[in-house]
């Protein structure tokens, strides 16, 4: 079924992974993809920019698909339904996120940890994503989105928000606990709102005056540099900055029994940990790997209930490469969101 999608579209693709300043992305004209059975073709209205897109573009993550189109925080409209899709209708508002396939049969999937599935596939890495006018998504991995939140505000919730939420769960924040956030970008500023709404005390440890200002505006109890000590011991911490050097720093800031969750998909090497200062007293260091669809649905529900809203910086789709360069340079706070100029 179709509502008359055009034959071709503008889309970004990674020509050859390289430092983003050197322009590894190309803006090309290519055919609008046809949805496979079980998939939706989605007209992209807004696509938020993730640090993972930077890792895909620069080669920190190995190439999974030649000339891939990045982007995995898409708010769009169902423009065509692949064979067998019955739970979506043309024109439905849908979200496309990072996780797009799991096998459903491995031990991890069967015990509810589909985020660990060895056969998982990801949007904007294994399959073309949302830095384009159209993209596809398996209907089983699409999210239904509320009608009353603007596209641009909703898009960053779809990875920054969902992954941040999983990191918050992994950090085992106790009720009314003290939470340290290392790095305060797209993901952290959403997690902070959720944690604050649920009664936590939040300390933001981040470089950059803009990020510190945003943290205070949202209600953080304190801000400091990433290598500074927070004013009180932390029950939980989340490391968003992809900087392994901060692992021992954050571990030292934990209270007895505290947990550090590392949220990124990529982290520079960690220096050795000192057992007495950084691990003893049952401190825990945990990683965060992707998310389950349940995490996603839960987070979207909580985000709407608690009015979690992204601070956004809008770029036209044609400026995607600039948005990634700006992300790397840390020139904006909150989340960058790409919008297609014209949406019929
Ligand atoms: Zn992401
Ligand atoms: Zn599996």
Whole-number Å distance between alpha carbons of 212 and 204: 7
Q: What are the φ and ψ backbone dihedral angles of 264, each rounded to 5 degrees? A: -75, 160
Distance from C-alpha of 168 to C-alpha of 301, rounded to nearest angstrom:
15
Say yes or no to pLDDT of 2 above 60. no
Alpha carbon of 101 to ligand 2 centroid (Å): 9
Q: How far is the CA of 294 from the centre of ligand 2 (A)?
A: 15
CA gap 118, 129 in Å, rounded: 21
Q: Which residue in 35, 270, 239, 27 sits closest to 140, CA to CA? A: 35
**Got the DSSP string for 94-136?**
EEE-SEEE--S-SHHHHTT-GGG-TT-EEBTTTB--SSBSEEE
CA 108 to ligand 2 center in whole angstroms = 6
Instruction: Output the CA torsion 188→236→96→126 (10° steps).
Output: 100
- Write out the H or E segment, with its range, that includes residue 315: strand 312-316
Share of the chain above pLDDT 90, in %: 90
Kindly report the number of other CB atoms within 10 A of residue 144's CB atom: 12
Ligand nearest to the CA of 113: 2
C-alpha 317 to ligand 1 mean position (Å): 17
37-68 pLDDT tens trace: 999 999 999 999 998 999 999 999 999 999 99
Q: How many CB atoms lie within 10 A of CB 237?
A: 30
Token pair in block for residue 259: 């947990």
**pLDDT class for 3, splitting at 50, 70, 90?**
low
Give the pLDDT confidence of 63-118 residue by residue, as tens digits: 999 999 999 999 999 999 999 999 999 999 999 999 999 999 999 999 999 999 99
Q: How many CB atoms lie within 10 A of CB 217?
A: 11
Shortest-distance ligand to the CA of residue 120? 2
For residue 254, the Cα-to-chain-centroid distance in whole angstroms is 25
**pLDDT for res 334:** 79
Q: Ligand 2: distance of its center to the CA of 115 in Å?
A: 8
Confirm whether pTM is higher than 0.85: yes
């Amino acid at each position: 079924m179709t509502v008359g999608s055009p034959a071709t579209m503008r889309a970004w693709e990674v020509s050859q992974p390289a430092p983003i300043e050197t322009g590894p992305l190309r803006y090309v004209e290519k055919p609008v993809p046809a949805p496979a059975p079980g998939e939706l073709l989605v007209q992209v209205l807004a696509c938020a920019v993730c640090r993972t897109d930077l890792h895909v573009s620069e080669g920190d993550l190995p190439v999974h698909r030649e000339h891939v189109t990045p982007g995995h925080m898409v708010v769009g409209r169902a423009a065509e339904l692949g064979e067998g899709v019955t739970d979506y209708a043309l024109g439905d508002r849908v979200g496309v996120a990072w996780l797009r396939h799991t096998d459903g049969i491995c031990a991890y999937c069967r015990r509810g940890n589909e985020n660990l599935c060895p056969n998982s596939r990801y949007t904007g890495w294994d399959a073309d994503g949302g830095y384009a006018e159209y993209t596809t998504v398996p209907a089983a991995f699409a999210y239904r989105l509320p009608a009353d939140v603007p596209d641009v505000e909703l898009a960053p919730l779809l990875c920054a928000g969902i992954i941040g939420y999983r990191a918050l769960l992994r950090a085992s924040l106790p009720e009314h606990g003290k939470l340290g956030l290392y790095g305060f970008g797209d993901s952290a500023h959403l997690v902070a709102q959720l944690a604050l709404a649920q009664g936590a005390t939040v300390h933001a440890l981040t470089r950059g005056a803009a990020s510190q200002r945003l943290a205070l505006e949202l209600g953080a109890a304190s801000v400091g540099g990433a290598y500074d000590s927070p004013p009180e011991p932390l029950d939980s911490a989340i490391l968003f900055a992809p900087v392994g050097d901060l692992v021992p720093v954050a571990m030292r800031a934990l209270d007895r029994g505290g947990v550090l969750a590392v949220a990124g998909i990529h982290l520079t090497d960690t220096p050795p940990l000192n057992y007495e200062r950084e691990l003893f007293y049952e401190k825990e260091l945990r990683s965060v790997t992707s998310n389950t669809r349940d995490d996603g649905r839960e987070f979207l529900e909580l985000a709407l209930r608690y009015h979690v809203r992204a601070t956004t910086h809008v770029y036209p789709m044609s400026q995607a490469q600039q948005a990634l360069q700006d992300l790397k340079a840390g020139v904006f706070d909150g989340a960058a969101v790409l919008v297609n100029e014209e949406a019929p």
